[in-house]
Every structure is written in structure tokens, then in C-alpha cells.
Structure 1
């Protein structure tokens, strides 16, 4: 009888280990690691939030390209849990330089995965039909969205750019031989007027067409199954209806987020308003079984010595928010003032250590098998 019970137990264990993880992603063919990342972030967000920093391991205040370095690690001994990178130079520059950038970014993302961290990818997309870069520049920029969506005269060129991204994504491999999952956040802050894909330069229908085509082409045509797709306007909304004005639909988005610098010290200190906006994001994610994130924020130069605990942490702990991560912007390697995370000797360093030591916040060293 005892041996039979043991046999039943072993059988149940084998069945449970062989079961596929529950997949709530919009990609029904998503890799197991991508599904696990989604599910673990969803669960972690109930009690914690991961800290992220843009370009954290590529460069920092006064340095660039140092191995296994970040300003955050120099202060608290751990890299951020989430590392932000960018597809900015996957188009619009020489082919030789593009290939170099792709190789360097591939190594960065794989290194982060091998350490147990997470990568989120923004796309400061250089205008594919005119000069002006990714910003809108009067008299130079063209409203490129209508040109690159299906039926547009530059649609074929856009597909070529996506093929490059697809090739890169399909070749991301960790030391374990598995495909590396990433959070892909295209066309962010689309409700503003500073990027060529912004609200004044394309209709709602054009923007939704661009989003849906981008996802379907990468996922269904190019076989990219390691992307979590994130939708993140700026903070120009006060209701769920306004937040969803250009939303492409639940079947096209895995993560909802918001970028907000204005309410956290850049223009004003208004934690109450920022919390209401984040609650709209968080509540929608709960209702639709999506991930939610505070996709960009920060205070340039961090002159407020207690900003990390008295502003950011206080905000994140209000309204029963469930946010998978918060990401602050980059530390420029040359500028003496353009930085959003502390470095040794910066005036908010000690307060950042208090932020790090709070049980609510998680950094890379705190992550345990986030892909399992």
C-alpha cells in the first residue's frame, strides 16, 4: 500500500511538472519563459515592485561600457531588477553601425537574463520617411504613421525594419540555451506632441492600425514569441476612457503603463493626482488580467534629497496599486545634470539606500528564478 501511494505521488508530481504554465499573453505560442515571466510579475506585483533604470548597464554618470557596472550597483550593490534599453539605432543610421548596435544590445540583454534580471525595450524610432529623428520637428518631419501602416507608400520599408527586429529577437539566447523574454514598449507617450507618432500627427485609427500591424507581423509572420507588449501613454488622462482613447484592444496588449515626470517634481509635486492616474492603470490591469507598470518617471538631477522615499515610494504604496515595476530614466555619461538615478556622492544617495532597503522594492539581487 505504501509503495502504491508513493507511485501515485510520483505520478502526480510528474504530471504537475509537465503541465504548461497558464498563458494569459496575447501570444498563444509564447515561450514558457515568457509566460513564466508574465505570471511571476503578476504575482510579485501584489506585494512588491521591481525597480528599473534606463540604460543602466550600458553607461552612467561619467562612464560608458564598463563590464558589469551600473550607477545603481555602485550605490547599493545590486543592479536594477529591470534594465531599460532601446531600439533607437535599429534604423536610420549606416548598416555597419546598425549591425554593431544590434550585436551590442543582444549581449546586454543576454547578460541581464543570465544574471536573473529583466529587460524592457523602448523604441525611439527615427522617422522612416523624413529627417528629424524620433522627435517631431516642424518643417522637417513628416507624419510617418500614415505612410508605414498597411496601404501606405512606405509600408514595405517598415516591414524591412520589423524584420531586423524579428531577426534580433529570435536570436536572443541565454546561457541555458533558451530564448530570452523581453518587454517591448513601442510608440510610448503617443498622447503627446513631441514624437512623430504623437496624437497631433496621426488619427486614432491610424495609430491603432500601426500598433496592431506591428504586433501581428512580429508575432504571426516573423515568429517572435518572446515579447511582452506594453502600452504606455504619457500622463495626459484623468479617466479610464481617456487612458484607453488610442488603446488597440485587449487582444493586442499584455501590459498597460504610464509615463509621468510632471507630477513627481518636474512641473509640480502632486502625489495625489499621480496616484489616481496609476490607479486607473492598475485597476484596468487587474480587471483584464494584464500587467501594469510605472513605465517611466524620475526627477532630473535628483536635487530633492528625500525624493526616493517621500515622493516615489509614498506614491507607489498608495491606493492598493499592483505595479510590476517602476523605471526611472537614464544617467547620461557626459552631462553633469542629466541623470535620474544616484551615483556615489550624489545628494540623494543615502535616501536611495533607504528606498533599496525597503521590503516593498525589489532589485536584481532580490529576484529568484523569475523565468521559472
Structure 2
């Protein structure tokens, strides 16, 4: 079915696919480990998919900063294969993220994950340069202001410099850079961030993306990054790719789709995820990219069988490298997306974890060679 879909999708995108090297990355000078990670993400998608969890090693329901602790590990006996991290407020020079996480602790945990063979992905809810946080979207001038010639370009360069300092500091015991998947300016098809579809033009968004990628690679000489393009839910490929900055600017095609509405929305969610991944994975194959479900989940996990009878069904049949569910807040009751000991979906989560094509950390092949 996917083979038949590819021509239609490419037609909608109105693009001619150039011949590309088998393991080409955005950064031609990416480190050996970073290029290996890209190649291995593609390989693992042919066998199954990795499970990921945001902030898993930092805190969970009822705890924070306990060394080696993880709600996922407490339930399943294994760590996630993919760990999500958030750098919001790094640009302000703060010592803690917008989720009150110490950046020094985060750096240490990223290093630990890499040493064990896991994968690290980073999001950045960067503050609005015209004032307020990332969710201050009451302006259509913010993106324009940070581009070259804009009133906040110098400020934004300073912010990018601070981001780069952190990314450059991610090294193993031998001083080798740790590869990370960077996911900036996500959910841009929505209108809840200052880089959203109602807050800037297509041209401004793609210019922001290109400016950021080029600045980090060419100006800051960062060669340990793979870049994820991740819209929010989109009805079709044309909408998904409307603000796509180009094949030479993106390594990984992602999408953020959450399960809202509980049991009555079960089938709707399954269909939405499956249909979106269908055109995404077809495009990823044509473009020599990796496809992932970059954010997903259902808050509070009210469906006891959500793991085996919802998300597993939703992604089945589509070659994606991983899914990542959102965080288990330690200070916000009910705001959790992975089970903890005693949670209603814990038994079903173990069944999910034990499926042959679902990869947690201990089941991973070497991702960096």
C-alpha cells in the first residue's frame, strides 16, 4: 500500500527527489557516531520501534533527582531506549529549565544514557524574544524580529550561543561529543507558540529553521546534531510539508499527536496516528529520512489497555524508529504519560514492553557504530 502512496504524496509536495547518499545527514561533517546513529535509526525502523519517555531519568511521580531511578524501569525492569530532555530557559542563562530541572544534572544524565547505549533527543521551548515564554503567541512579529536585520537578531544570536554551549558540553568520559536529536520549533502547524502557523509566514518559519541549523553547524561548529522536523497533527502530506525547510535541513520526520478524549476517541486516535505515519514513512523512504512519533500519549493513562490496544495498534505497519510519550511530572498530580508502580496500565505496559518489535534500552543494538 505504501508503494502506491509514494507517487501521490510526492505529487502533492510538488518536489522532485534528488539522488541521495545512503546515510547522508544534514551536516556533512557530522561526527562518526552521529552518522552511525542516523544509519542505525533507519535500521531499527525495519525491525520495530524504540520506546521513549520525556525527562524519564530526572523525576517521576513522587520523586526527583534520585540517581538511577525511572518510573518506566520501576514498572518494566528496563529503561526507555529514548530519553527526551527540555532546554527551555537555557537561552536566558538560567541554571534551571522551565521545568525546574538543573541543567548540570541534565548534562550528567544525558552522559549516563549515552554510556548505556540509549538515545537522547532534545526539545527547546525557547522564550519569545519580544517578551514572555514560548506560549506567548500574541504577536506576528517575533519570528521576523530574530532573523538577520531584525530588531532582536543580536539577542537571538546570544540565545543560540548559550544553546550551543550546552550542546557542545555534551561529551563522554573520553571527551567525545555525544550525538543528540535536536527538535526545535515543533508543533508549528498549531498556533500556541510564537513560531506557530498564525504567528509567522511560511517564508519566515523556514528562514528561522535554516538560520538556526546553519548557525549551529557553521558558526558554532557543532557536529553532533541530527535535526527533527515535527509538526502537530496534520490532515495530510500537503499540510505536513507546507513549512518544510528542505531535505538539506532535516534529518528526521516527526509528528506530535496526543490522545485526547479518552475511551470515546480511541479509534479516532488510532486512525489519525496510523494515517499520518503512513504518508510520513512513505515520504521518509523517498527522501532518505527517518520517521518517528516525536510526541504522543494520553494524560493520566485512564485506559488500562492503552499500550497494547491503542498505541501499539496505531503505529503497527509503519516503519518508525521510535515513539516518545511525555513526562511524568513530580509536582503536578495527574500529569503523567508513562505508568508508575501501581498505576492501572502497568500490567499492560509490561505486555507492550515484551513485544518482540518494541525496543527498550537493554534490547538495543549498538546505535553509535
Asked if TM exceeds 0.5, the reply is yes
Correspondent of 2:328 among 331, 347, 365? 331
Equivalent position of 2:252 in the other structure: 255
Distance 2:191 2:129 in 1: 18
Is the contact made by 2:117 and 2:367 (CA closer than 8 Å) also made in structure 1? Answer: yes
CA 1:264–1:249: 2 relative to 1, 3 Å: farther
Q: Which residue of 1 aligns with 2:71?
A: 71
How big is the shift at 1:322? 1.1
Q: How many pairs were matched up?
A: 344
> Taking structure 2 as the reference length, what is the TM-score of the superposition?
0.89
Alpha-carbon distance in 2 for matches of 1:295, 1:283: 17
Report the equivalent of 2:128.
127
- Gaps spanning 5+ residues in structure 2: where? 1-20
How much has 1:258 moved relative to structure 2?
A: 0.6
* Residues 357 and 365 of structure 1, relative CA distance in 2, 3 Å threshold: same
1:111-143 CA-to-partner distances (Å, cap 9, x unmatched) read 110111111001111112212x111354xx674
Deviates more, 1:188-197 or 1:264-273: 264-273
Residue 181 of structure 2 is aligned to residue 183 of structure 1: yes
Q: Contact (CA 8 Å) 1:48, 1:360: kept in 2 or not?
A: yes
- Match of residue 103 from structure 2: 102
Asked whether the 8 Å contact 1:72–1:341 carries over to 2, the reply is yes
CA deviation vs aligned residue, 1:15-43 (integer Å, no higher than 9, x gap): xxxxxx96410100000000000101101
Query: CA contact under 8 A between 2:51 and 2:322: conserved in structure 1?
Result: yes
Do the aligned residues in 2 keep the contact of 1:254 with 1:291 (CA within 8 Å)?
yes
Per-residue deviation at 1:78? Answer: 1.0
Contact 2:327 2:337 in 1 (8 A): yes
- Structure 1 segments, 4+ long, off by >4 Å, are 94-98, 262-267
- The more displaced of 165-174 and 302-311 is 165-174
Provide the C-alpha distance between the structure 2 equivalents of 1:95 and 1:80, rounded to a whole number of angstroms.
28
Residues in 2 aligned to 1:172 and 1:142: alpha-carbon distance in whole angstroms: 34
- Structure 1 distance, partners of 2:148, 2:242, is 21
1:223–1:137 CA distance, 2 compared to 1 (3 A)? closer
The answer as to 2:365 corresponding to 1:368 is yes
What does residue 353 of structure 1 align with? 350
Aligned residue for 1:52? 52
Please state whether the residue corresponding to 2:187 is helix, strand or coil. coil
Please state how far the C-alpha of 1:96 moved relative to its aligned partner.
5.3
1:322 and 2:323 equivalent?
A: no
- Find the aligned partners of 1:199 and 1:303 in 2 and give their Cα distance: 32
Residue 284 of structure 2 corresponds to which residue in structure 1? Answer: 285
* Structure 1, unpaired ranges of 5+: 1-20
- Measured against aligned partners, the alpha-carbon deviations of 1:294-340 in whole angstroms (never above 9, x if no partner) come to 0000010001000000001111113xx11010000000102221100
Answer whether contact 1:282 1:292 (CA < 8 A) is retained.
yes
Q: Deviations over 1:261-310 (max 9, x none)?
A: 14784882222232111111111111111011000000100010000000
Match of 2:310 in 1: 311
Q: Is the 8 A contact 1:263 1:274 kept in 2?
A: no
Root-mean-square deviation (Å): 1.9
How far apart in 1 are the matches of 2:261 and 2:52?
Answer: 17
CA change 1:142–1:68 in 2 (3 A) is: farther
1:126 is paired with a residue of what secondary structure?
Answer: coil
Matches for 1:222-237 after TM superposition, within 5 Å: 222-237=220-235
Q: Deviation of residue 104 (structure 1)?
A: 2.4
CA distance in 2, matches of 1:305, 1:262: 14
Looking at CA atoms only, which structure, 1 or 2, has the larger radius of gyration? 1
